[in-house]
Amino acid sequence: MAEAVAVGADRESLGGRLRDIGFWADWAAVIGLVALVIVFGLASPSFLTLGNIQAMLVSAAILIVLAVGQTFVIATSGIDLSIASIMTFGAVVLGLLYAAGWPILLACLVGVVAAGLAGVINGTLVAKGRIPDFVVTLGMFSAASGAALILSDGKPTQVVDGFLLALASGSVGPFGYFIVVAAVVVVVAHVALFHTRFGVHVLATGGNAEGARAMGIRTGRVRLAVYLISGVLAGVGAILLVSRVGAAEPAINTTYLLNAIAAVVLGGVSLQGGRGNILGPVVGALLLTALTNGLTLLGISQYYQPLAVGVVVVMAALLMRYQR
Amino acid sequence: MASARSWRARRFRRGVAGLALAAVAVAACAPPDRSAEVAAIIKGLDNPFFQAMGQGIEDGATGPVTVQAAQSTADTTGQADKLSAVAVQGFGCYIINPISGTNLVQSLSLIAKQGKPVINIDSPVNAEAARLAGATLASYVGTDNTHAGQVAGDFLAGRLPAGAKVALIGGTAGDVTSRARLDGFRAAVDGKLTVSQTVDVNEWSRSEALTRAEEIMRANPDLAGFFVANDDMGLGVSRAVQNAGKSDQVRVVSVDGVEDGLRAVKSGQLAATVAQYPYTIGEMGVEACRAAAAGHTLPATVNAPVALVTQDNAADALSAFPKPFEQYDDPYRQLLQQ
Amino acid sequence: MTQQSGTAVLSTEATADALLVATGISKSFGNVRALQDVSVWLPRGQITALIGDNGAGKSTLVRVLSGVHPADEGSLTFDGSPVRFASPEDARTAGIETVHQNLALIDDLTVWQNLFLNRELVRGFGPLSFLDRKRMQEQAEKMLSRLSVNVPPIRSKVRRLSGGQRQAVAISRAAGWGSKLVIMDEPTAALGVQETARVEELVKGLRADGMTVLLISHNFDQVMRLADQVWVMRAGRLAAGRRTQDTDGEELVGLVTGAITS
């Protein structure tokens, strides 16, 4: 019966759907992004220039990679508060190995592995230690940034390397390598979440862990795996970060943590878990980037930017309550 | 059901594309010419030092100027994003105060393609990284922070008995400015005073500096002085000294010369501050842009003024604030006056 | 004062074609003796009910049979051979499926995804195996087509289903994997009259297909309507066994409360 009603709703006229708040809730991030593009496009002639769009996509790339990692964790009803400090940790490992004369590709690889290990520690404590995600990753947030400070002795390491410089400024056609990397991450993540057994088990673990266990799904392993994914993607983010700022810096940038979670929420992924979606958080990340970029172009003081982000996120969350 | 959904998605996508195209069309109508304008990207406005710098840039400009700042002094990529964003608007000259030596390099390579002058103020861009990215800087103006630390060290070494114990409080671990100031101080007091310990305070937090100072005094009852890497934290430390009832015993010296700092020197809470003039640095940055626009060749490096402010001259320093109370060299102004 | 029943008593000696035989099962949790020397058997292709008050040991017995808790003492024989279940997977591999009271359905997944949960069909090899959605959907249609009524749309999310439809999905999933025994824990406890009737039809349908069913229920009328035989538990022990044709609701109530001993 319920389904019959729902099918009817799908066939409603456009006007009917526009009046249905559920429609707006499902498309919150996309609608928000389109609205911003229109507003900023009208207000600032530079906003929709090719150069600016390229710059926005490049600056969204790190956030997209982190948001994808965060999506996997949140889909299992967890949360990774340590994602930005693991990225910093990975960056410091990368930087120190590079400074010690390792080949850049090997340094990058070990940086990713180090970040992945931090993720494994998170996952093990959550899955085997039965400690709440929030507590574990809050601890890792501190521990990973502490490790980064200790390893680096608090000093930034210059990583001035041709390969990373090319990664930051080179492009394939109009698309910078950053965008290409982010796109590959997004596609792989989408396939993993929706076209593999693992993805189904992630959603099942988040939706009903007890039920998933009753069906023989090893939810502990699934949790371990999502934190591993989150850690590895933080490591990928670290490579992008080092190549973008040209140095491995031990100071952590908490904006990335908050924006990664905000992007996931904007993308319609429920913090209660069970509902996953990769493209939503990507649009959320683009929205947050466009918001900051547009306000910068308009010359609006950066004081207003965190406020704007907060308002957008809370509005999206309110709208999300009407999701179908 | 599936087909209904994809139909809906298709309709929706078409709508989105249409709206985006419309916006592009509108945007294409009115490209404003900003080639006579100046854009400045500085470190942050959450600190009086950078507020004064921003003010100096705005006051020094004769035409329109856009000042943007990073979200915080850890927001390295955010600052780079902002520079990229203003770079596409085609300003005539860019003033940058980078958070780190390299974080703006990639965005600078965008500007390098436009051939517009870039004035580096305050924190220097890493020369090697700039060269690799093909970025060129027209001029650098800033304070020698090591020198500022030395001035503070000489002052405290002159006021305290030989071998007296001092503690150093730096800003965010790894911050270049903090490190330079501390290194300068250490070099100046070497062999004269005893540095009991050095702590770094995350995000240059005043309240955390206060807490650290209390702990240090508890651990070192015979402490005679603090060197603090900026005024804001210095005020927190002087509060800790007052709270401990040691105002007569422990002297606090900091660097920056912000208005609150100068007042604290006048009232005796701070023994001295080494004043740097962010306002003047900002002003000189805009003058450099004007000089470049007028076709002058700019000097590669200009040292901004530094002055030791003690109780003797604090009143003068306050009345001239935010400008220096002593004479100083301004090579850009000399170029403009030619 | 207690009545003594006569010939209707069901022996704990299993008949030769019993699908599952549990002999002398005991289970303790710390100092609590949850089960003491319980022996029951389930006739093949029939519906057996398990009744008793709260705390009588029904759930513990079900957990032992479905591999959740291994028994401390006693033995299990399933389909003619002795078995030992260390985990629910062991029991499932042997052919015992359990429909838990919470149904173990994932609300935000579709009906077909729930039917194939942890048994997803894939194409490809190793890390490059991808879900074969089309084949799973086709098979899901077949699995559900056995339900004459109450067929939920397979592509709809479970969240949108009615209580009876959810029960139907959970039961179809349990019955759909070549299983030999389906254990159902209070399948109609949360349902209205109409939905209860539909689920009962579904359970009868399983028996018609030759499935063996163990039904835990509080509803004696339902037990009389559905079951072929009944085991009654009281205070961790087996209190009695009856063929439903030889008993009535009143006697079952007496056996559960202890007013009647057999």
Task: Tell me how far apart the alpha carbons of residues C249 and C262 are, in angstroms, rounded to a whole number.
Answer: 15
Task: Tell me how far apart the alpha carbons of residues A125 and A228 are, in angstroms, rounded to a whole number.
Answer: 12
Contact list, B168 vs chain A (CB under 8 Å)? none
Q: What is the pLDDT at residue C148?
A: 61
Same domain, B176 and B124: no
Eight-state DSSP code of residue B39: E
CB-based contacts of C19, cutoff 8 Å, min separation 6: C42, C43, C44, C45, C78, C79, C180, C181, C212
Task: Using a pLDDT cut of 90, give the percent of chain C over it.
Answer: 41
Of A142, A136, A123, which Cα lies nearest the Cα of A85? Answer: A142
Total number of domains in chain A: 1
Eight-state DSSP code of residue B62: S
- C191 neighbors C164 (Cβ within 8 angstroms): yes
Task: Give me the total of CB pairs closer than 8 Å, taking one residue from chain A and one from chain B.
Answer: 170
pLDDT tens track for A263-305:
998 888 888 888 888 999 999 999 999 998 888 888 887 778 8
Task: Using a pLDDT cut of 90, give the percent of chain A over it.
Answer: 55
Residue B13 lies in a domain: no
Task: Tell me how far apart the alpha carbons of residues C186 and C59 are, in angstroms, rounded to a whole number.
Answer: 10
C230 versus A1: the higher-pLDDT residue is: C230
Element (H, E) at C40: strand C32-43
ipTM for the complex shown? 0.83
- B182 neighbors B229 (Cβ within 8 angstroms): yes
Q: Is there a contact between A37 and B20 if contact means CB atoms under 8 Å apart?
A: yes
- C146 neighbors C205 (Cβ within 8 angstroms): yes
Residue B312 lies in a domain: no
Q: What is the pLDDT at residue B1?
A: 40
Task: Tell me how far apart the alpha carbons of residues A2 and C106 are, in angstroms, rounded to a whole number.
Answer: 17
Q: Smallest CA–CA separation between B3 and chain C, in Å?
A: 12
pLDDT band at C262 (very low <50, low <70, confident <90, very high): low
Total number of domains in chain B: 2
Kindly tell me if the per-residue pLDDT of C89 is higher than 90.
Answer: no
Task: Tell me how far apart the alpha carbons of residues B108 and A26 are, in angstroms, rounded to a whole number.
Answer: 40
Tens-level pLDDT at each residue, chain B (338 residues): 444 444 444 544 554 455 555 544 444 445 578 888 999 999 988 777 888 899 999 999 998 899 999 888 778 899 999 999 999 888 999 999 998 888 898 889 888 888 899 999 998 898 888 888 888 899 999 988 999 999 999 999 999 999 999 999 999 877 778 999 999 999 999 999 999 999 988 778 888 899 899 989 988 999 999 999 999 999 999 999 998 999 999 999 999 998 889 999 999 999 999 999 999 999 999 999 999 999 999 999 999 999 999 999 999 999 999 899 999 999 999 999 88
- C21 neighbors C41 (Cβ within 8 angstroms): yes
Residue B311 lies in a domain: no
Provide the token pair at A127: 């899955």
Q: What is the pLDDT at residue A169?
A: 79
Alpha-carbon dihedral sign for residues B24, B25, B26, B28: positive
Domain that holds residue B295: 38-143+278-304
Alpha carbon A137 to chain centroid, angstroms: 16
Alpha carbon A247 to chain centroid, angstroms: 22
Residue A254 lies in a domain: yes
Please give the mean pLDDT across all residues of chain A. 88
Q: Exposure pattern of A59-97 as b/e (b: 16+ CB <10 Å)?
A: bbbbbbbbbbbbbbbbbbbbbbbbbbbbbbbbbbbbbbb
Half-sphere exposure of B335 (CA within 13 A, CB side): 19
Task: Tell me how far apart the alpha carbons of residues C151 and C147 are, in angstroms, rounded to a whole number.
Answer: 6
Q: Is beta strand C18-29 parallel, antiparallel or unpaired with respect to C32-43? A: antiparallel
The CATH number of residue B98's host domain is: 3.40.50.2300
pLDDT tens track for C33-43:
899 999 999 99
Eight-state DSSP code of residue A170: -
pLDDT tens track for A182-223:
999 999 999 999 999 999 999 999 999 988 988 889 999 999
Length of chain A equals 324
Cβ-nearest to C162 among A2, A197, A216? A2
Cβ-nearest to B89 among A46, A59, A149? A46
Q: What is the pLDDT at residue A31?
A: 85
Task: Tell me how far apart the alpha carbons of residues B80 and C62 are, in angstroms, rounded to a whole number.
Answer: 63
Alpha carbon B142 to chain centroid, angstroms: 9
Provide the token pair at A259: 């924006």
Residue A14 lies in a domain: no
CB-based contacts of A95, cutoff 8 Å, min separation 6: A107, A152, A156, A157, A159, A242, A247, A248
Q: What is the pLDDT at residue A5?
A: 38
Task: Give me the total of CB pairs closer than 8 Å, taking one residue from chain A and one from chain C.
Answer: 77
For residue B94, give the 3-state DSSP assignment.
Answer: strand
Contact list, C162 vs chain A (CB under 8 Å)? 1-2
Return the HEC string of B204-231: HCHHHHHHHHHHHHHHCCCCCEEEECCH
Q: What is the pLDDT at residue B30?
A: 52
pLDDT band at C149 (very low <50, low <70, confident <90, very high): low
Backbone angles phi, psi at A245, to 5 degrees: -95, 0
Same domain, B113 and B82: yes
Kindly tell me if the per-residue pLDDT of A174 is higher than 60.
Answer: yes
A130 at C interface, C-beta within 8 A: no
Half-sphere exposure of C98 (CA within 13 A, CB side): 26
Quote the crossing angle between the two packed helices B76-87 and A50-75, to the nearest 10°: 150
Highest average pLDDT, of A134-138, A296-300, C2-6, C127-131, comes from A134-138
Type of residue numbered A199:
G
Counting other chains too, the contacts that B302-305 makes at CB distance below 8 Å and 24 or more residues apart are B302/B139, B302/B140, B302/B141, B302/B329, B302/B330, B302/B331, B302/B332, B303/B141, B303/B142, B303/B143, B303/B144, B303/B329, B304/B141, B304/B142, B304/B143, B304/B276, B304/B277, B304/B280, B304/B328, B305/B143, B305/B276, B305/B277, B305/B280, B305/B329
Contact list, A55 vs chain B (CB under 8 Å)? 81, 84-85, 87-88, 110
Contact list, B129 vs chain A (CB under 8 Å)? 158, 160, 246
Backbone angles phi, psi at C26, to 5 degrees: -130, 145
For residue C167, give the 3-state DSSP assignment.
Answer: helix
Q: Is there a contact between B81 and A303 if contact means CB atoms under 8 Å apart?
A: no
Q: Which CATH superfamily is domain C18-105+179-257 in?
A: P-loop containing nucleotide triphosphate hydrolases (3.40.50.300)
Give the pLDDT mean for A55-72: 94
Q: Is beta strand C96-99 parallel, antiparallel or unpaired with respect to C181-185? A: parallel
Same domain, B180 and B246: yes
A164 versus A187: the higher-pLDDT residue is: A187
What DSSP string describes A227-243? HHHHHHHHHHHHHHHHH
What are the residue ranges spanned by the domains of chain C?
18-105+179-257
Q: Residues of chain C whose C-beta is under 8 A from some C-beta in A?
A: 88-89, 92, 98, 100, 102-109, 113, 117-118, 120, 122, 129-131, 133, 152-153, 156, 160-162
Task: Tell me how far apart the alpha carbons of residues B308 and B325 are, in angstroms, rounded to a whole number.
Answer: 11
Quote the crossing angle between the two packed helices A219-245 and A197-207, to the nearest 10°: 110
What residues pair up with B166 in beta bridges, in sequence order?
B195, B225
C-beta neighbour count of B131 within 10 angstroms: 12
The CATH number of residue A180's host domain is: 1.10.3470
Task: Tell me how far apart the alpha carbons of residues A193 and A322 are, in angstroms, rounded to a whole number.
Answer: 24
Contact list, C107 vs chain A (CB under 8 Å)? 207-208, 274
Residue A46 lies in a domain: yes
Task: Tell me how far apart the alpha carbons of residues B188 and A317 are, in angstroms, rounded to a whole number.
Answer: 56
Same domain, B138 and B107: yes
What DSSP string describes B232-273? HHHHHHHHHHHHTT-TTT-EEEEEE--HHHHHHHHHTSSSEE
Q: Is there a contact between A45 and B109 if contact means CB atoms under 8 Å apart?
A: no
- B234 neighbors B213 (Cβ within 8 angstroms): no
Domain that holds residue A105: 28-320
Cβ-based burial of A189 (10 A; exposed 0-12, middle 13-18, buried ≥19)? buried
Q: What is the pLDDT at residue A170?
A: 82
Contact list, A52 vs chain B (CB under 8 Å)? 85, 88
Residue B194 lies in a domain: yes
Provide the token pair at B58: 């705005």
Backbone angles phi, psi at A82, to 5 degrees: -95, 5
Q: Smallest CA–CA separation between A226 and chain B, in Å?
A: 26
DSSP H stretches of helix in chain C:
58-65, 88-94, 111-115, 133-145, 163-175, 193-208, 220-226, 249-257
Same domain, B167 and B238: yes
Task: Tell me how far apart the alpha carbons of residues A268 and A190 are, in angstroms, rounded to a whole number.
Answer: 15
Eight-state DSSP code of residue A313: H
Element (H, E) at B165: strand B165-170
What residues pair up with C181 in beta bridges, in sequence order?
C96, C212
CB-based contacts of B317, cutoff 8 Å, min separation 6: B257, B262, B265, B275, B307, B309, B325
Residue A10 lies in a domain: no
Same domain, B284 and B236: no
Q: What is the pLDDT at residue B298?
A: 94
- A97 neighbors A106 (Cβ within 8 angstroms): yes
DSSP H stretches of helix in chain A:
2-10, 14-19, 21-26, 28-43, 50-75, 83-99, 104-127, 133-152, 162-169, 177-195, 197-207, 209-214, 219-245, 254-266, 279-297, 304-320
Kindly tell me if the per-residue pLDDT of C16 is higher than 80.
Answer: no
- B215 neighbors B239 (Cβ within 8 angstroms): no
Please give the mean pLDDT across all residues of chain C. 87
